[in-house]
Amino acid sequence: MSISHRGAATALFAIAGLTGSAVAYGATAEASQDPTTSSVTARGDIKNVIYLLGDGMGRTHVTAARQRYYGASGRLVMETLPALGQVSTYSVERRSGQPGASDFVPNLVTDSASAATAWASGVKTYNAALGVDAKGNVKPTLMELAKQKGYRTGNVSTAEITDATPAGQMSHVLARGCQGPAYSEASCQDTEVTGSPLPTSDLRVTPVADQIARNGTADVILGGGLARFDRADQRALRDQGYQVLGSPATQTVATESDLDAASRRKVFGLFNKGNLTIEKYKRENPDSAQAEEPALEEMTAKAIELLSRKRKGNGFYLQVEGALIDKRSHANDAAQTLEETKAFDDAVKVALDFAKQDGHTLVIVTADHECAGFNIIEKGTFTNAEAAAPPLNADSGNPANSSTPSRVGGNVKDPARSSGTINGAGASDPKNFAPATFRTPDDPAAVQDGTPEASLWLSYLSGNHTGADVPVFAYGPQSGRVDRSIDNTDLFDIMGHALRVTQ
Amino acid sequence: MYSSPEPATTTGPRTGDRRWPPHTVVALLLGVVLVGAILFRIVQHDSVGAAATQREAGAVAAPKAAAPSEAAVKTDLPGIVAPTGEPTLGTLADTHPAPGRVAHARGPFDDRFTLSRLSLDRRHVGGVLTITSDVSDLLELQVLAGFYDRHGRLLGTGRFVHHATGHAHAHVGTPSLKEPFTVPVPERLRGEVHAAAVGVPVLVNE
């Protein structure tokens, strides 16, 4: 065979060139469409990182919310992300070294502050510490490093913006209680770490609100906690070019309409003097002032809109927290816990939709810790707390596992400790340990929440955090790096690598 | 690159009726495909920006990423005045409670709690603070008390401090909605105090 015409040869070259481009494009597109294989993608392909966490959201929170809203065979949006792993969350005691050091002293159950410091600064620290290690040394945060490298940055939460999770990216304090507006020795100093009180001019005892209002770490700040800020903070924010929604000076909270109209590169908007209002209340009270607060998905969408306007250079780094999952789990309020988990998942959808369209965005969804030992028990069964006698919780020395009873008198339900579903017939009994029950889309239409017929039976172990690992889901370039068992400090490396701000 | 078993005179482009051997054409096409792919990658990275292009260039020899820099932490915060003591409430000076009364001095967190069972005797002012917002944890609370003479003039202050240490702190048991408090009347004011006011300058409740 031979080519006899110059034109044909030229055409062939053109076709070949196009084919080469198409092959290259196809490979890229494939990587985007199948993010589980994209962990090998050059990290230059990542422009943005969106990190979403459900505070206190353990594996069972995710499962229960899925069953509640989508049925047994459904999936939350976060569960559709192709990469899935699990994260260990332990913290350390005061003055502890890092893992592997001779003075390493772990604490198996973290709080939100220590967890936030783990992923934000890459170090283990003691419960209550933010942006410092367990010996009190200041550690840069990912958001600070990203800002320094020219990324746009955002921090969104349904909690007070000075609360541990958002503050972990934007401040450095010895004690998470040092939120402001005022300094106090009890809330800001920790002499067990520092030996003696630090000068009040030291960053580590400077209230979080004062730091956030002046360090410019986040370009877009959306959440609650207006009461932590005052007139001087408002002036400092405006001096840096922030569009301040509402007014810290007059303690006027921002509204959803204010958020819609926000347009500057730097926006500061707090929609409640404290934490934002739970979605269930807003849904049931649509005419209330609280119903004017934006939902997490709306704040997330606006933050992405504002941050993604930059077209050249580095992209953006955004952290989004669904904070009220934890707060309602502490209160053992399953109904609100479920609804807040769903609201968080709606924010995940916003981030995921953007990432799919953008093609250069890594989305990571996880939690800081599990809260309250949330669990799904089989319909019609009962928990230890409802039993007439406690479990022995000891080795009976029985090799056959068949003779010594697990409880004196057997494992039977005590009607005085289990007087009916707590969101139904047993609601008025303060000594009732029974589960809360919820209908799912799989239940017959007549089945109601709080009845024995509802199929989703939920119980809490305690009102406190637990040491259980938490799930992590990811989408986008390098998402495969979370597709395993990792530690919460690894998230610092994963996101830092993606943003090219760490080794 | 390619090689050909045929004489060079038969492989090069010719004028007129040009004929290239098939393997030459295949080799050329492969070369062009590679060039096309490379061009695509360059264009793609142009869209990501100059910085990304530099990083891509570094992909051949792994780029050296920046180490975490302490300089990223801003320690110079404009306009901050280091506090010289414990917080106060400006409203204490504006409050003039009648003799025998315990007033509420306004503060930044008044929408988060209620006060009840307020009482004043010669030695203490006290009451119960009930938190009405989130109570997954009560981390910090300071109740500031102002003490007044019979004319409603502020004589001095005292404090009640609740501080969760962070050890076994707060996450012990279920969260409490109610925090009883007592603030002693300062020794030097004993016998002079006829009224009081209480307010909250510090409150951290998750």
**Alpha-carbon distance B165 to A412, whole Å?**
40
**Alpha-carbon distance A36 to A39, whole Å?**
7
Cβ separation of A327 and B134 shorter than 8 Å?
yes
For B113-132, what is each residue's pLDDT tens digit?
999 999 999 999 999 999 98
Residue type, A238: R
Closest chain A residue by Cα to residue B171: A464
A250 within a domain of the structure (yes/no) = yes
Rounded mean pLDDT, A237-256: 98
For A303-322, what is each residue's pLDDT tens digit?
999 999 966 788 999 999 99
A452 within a domain of the structure (yes/no) = no
- Tell me if residue A171 is catalytic: no
Q: Are B36 and A17 spatial neighbours (Cβ–Cβ below 8 Å)? A: yes
**Alpha-carbon distance A175 to A40, whole Å?**
40
- What does the pLDDT read at residue B138? 84
Tokens of A114: 């220590």
A245 within a domain of the structure (yes/no) = yes
Rounded mean pLDDT, A42-48: 73
Residue with tokens 């772990």: A106
Confirm or reject contact between B16 and chain A (CB < 8 A).
no
Residue A35's pLDDT band, with cuts at 50, 70 and 90, is very low
Give B112 to chain A, closest Cα distance, Å. Answer: 8
A223 within a domain of the structure (yes/no) = yes
Q: E-strand spans in A285-441? A: 316-322, 361-367, 370-371, 375-377, 436-438
Rounded mean pLDDT, A61-68: 98
- What does the pLDDT read at residue B32? 60
Q: Which of A396-410, A438-452, B67-81, B148-162 has the lowest mean pLDDT?
A: A396-410
For residue A36, is pLDDT > 70? no
CA atoms within 13 A on the CB side of A120: 37
Confirm or reject contact between B109 and chain A (CB < 8 A).
yes
**3-state SS track over A458-473:** EECCCCCEECCCEEEE
A365 within a domain of the structure (yes/no) = yes
- Predicted structure pTM score: 0.84
- Residue B177 DSSP class: S
Q: Which member of A112, A114, A157, A187 is catalytic?
A: A112
The B residues from 36 to 95 touching A (CB cutoff 8 Å) are: 36-41, 44-45, 48-52, 55-56, 59, 63, 65-75, 77-80, 82-84, 86-87
Domain tally, chain A: 1
For residue B21, is pLDDT > 80? no
- Helix, strand, coil percentages in chain B from 3-state DSSP, rounded to 5: 25, 30, 45
For residue A431, is pLDDT > 50? yes
Tokens of A282: 């807003």
- What does the pLDDT read at residue B11? 33
Cβ separation of B166 and A175 shorter than 8 Å?
yes
Tokens of A51: 């990190």
A238 within a domain of the structure (yes/no) = yes
- What does the pLDDT read at residue A223? 98
Q: Which residue has the higher pLDDT, A38 or A453?
A: A453
- What does the pLDDT read at residue B83? 95
For A69-103, what is each residue's pLDDT tens digit?
999 999 999 999 999 999 999 999 999 999 999 99
Residue B41's pLDDT band, with cuts at 50, 70 and 90, is very low
A479 SS3 class: helix
CATH code of residue A124: 3.40.720.10
Mean of the per-residue pLDDT values of chain A: 91
A361-367 and A375-377 as β-strands: parallel, antiparallel, unpaired? unpaired
Q: What sign results for the dihedral spanned by CA atoms A224, A139, A47, A30?
A: negative
Give the residue numbers spanning the domain of A118.
Answer: 10-31+46-372+464-498
Residue A392's pLDDT band, with cuts at 50, 70 and 90, is confident
A411 within a domain of the structure (yes/no) = no
Q: Which of A65, A57, A192, A54 is nearest to A135 (CA)?
A: A192
A132 within a domain of the structure (yes/no) = yes
For residue B151, is pLDDT > 90? yes
**Alpha-carbon distance A53 to A474, whole Å?**
12
Cβ separation of A463 and B172 shorter than 8 Å?
no
Rounded mean pLDDT, A423-447: 97
Q: Are A364 and A49 spatial neighbours (Cβ–Cβ below 8 Å)? A: yes
